[in-house]
């Protein structure tokens, strides 16, 4: 019985940690477009391929196993990781789009965004630096 209680406590602790993790959507500091949550969803689902100013958007994502990826996809896109992958498999197969480029970790994401004014991505909010601009939080 004590083992079951410990397992339950650990499980709830992990779920709570994932639930409270905050993710920030980031762009290059030079990007002056107004980017709201509706536009972010449309960009990540390949329905919009450019920023409001007409510049083609370079969409970046973290690896599927990153906790920020799970939080972002559930909160912003209302999709699980498997639903997102399936969605993009279909889009790519039908020639309707190319899935977002995967970054290995938060540091790579920040560096990519910092060096590309056309890029959009997301990271764990605790690692955001002044080198990028936050446009939304989930």
Q: Is the pLDDT of residue 3 over 90?
A: no
Q: By the 8 A CB rule, do 122 and 72 touch?
A: yes
The model carries a pTM of: 0.84
Q: What residues make up the domain containing 77?
A: 21-137
Residue 91 sits in a domain whose CATH number is 3.40.190.10
* Residue, of 11 and 123, whose pLDDT is higher: 123
In a domain, 50, yes or no: yes
Q: Is the pLDDT of residue 2 over 90?
A: no
Q: Is the pLDDT of residue 17 over 50?
A: no
In a domain, 6, yes or no: no
Q: At what angle do helices 67-76 and 37-44 cross, to 10 degrees?
A: 110
In a domain, 44, yes or no: yes
Question: SS3 of 29, please?
Answer: coil
Chain segment 57-85, per-residue pLDDT in tens: 999 999 999 999 999 999 999 999 999 99
In a domain, 13, yes or no: no
How many residues are there in the chain? 138
- Lowest average pLDDT, out of 11-15, 37-41, 95-99, goes to 11-15
Count of domains forming the chain: 1
In a domain, 3, yes or no: no
In a domain, 11, yes or no: no
Q: Is the pLDDT of residue 122 over 50?
A: yes
């Amino acid at each position: 019985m004590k083992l079951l209680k410990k397992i339950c406590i650990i499980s709830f602790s992990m779920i709570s940690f994932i639930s409270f993790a905050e993710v920030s959507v980031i762009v290059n500091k030079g990007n002056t477009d107004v980017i709201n949550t509706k536009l972010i969803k449309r960009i990540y689902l390949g329905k919009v391929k450019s920023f409001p100013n007409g510049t083609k958007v370079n969409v970046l994502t973290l690896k599927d196993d990153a906790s920020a990826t799970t939080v972002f996809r559930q909160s912003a896109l209302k999709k699980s990781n498997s639903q997102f992958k399936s969605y993009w498999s279909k889009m790519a197969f039908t020639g309707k789009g190319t899935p977002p480029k995967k970054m290995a970790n938060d540091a790579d994401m920040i560096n990519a965004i910092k060096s590309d004014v056309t890029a959009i991505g997301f990271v764990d909010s605790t690692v955001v630096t002044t080198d990028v601009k936050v446009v939304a939080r989930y």
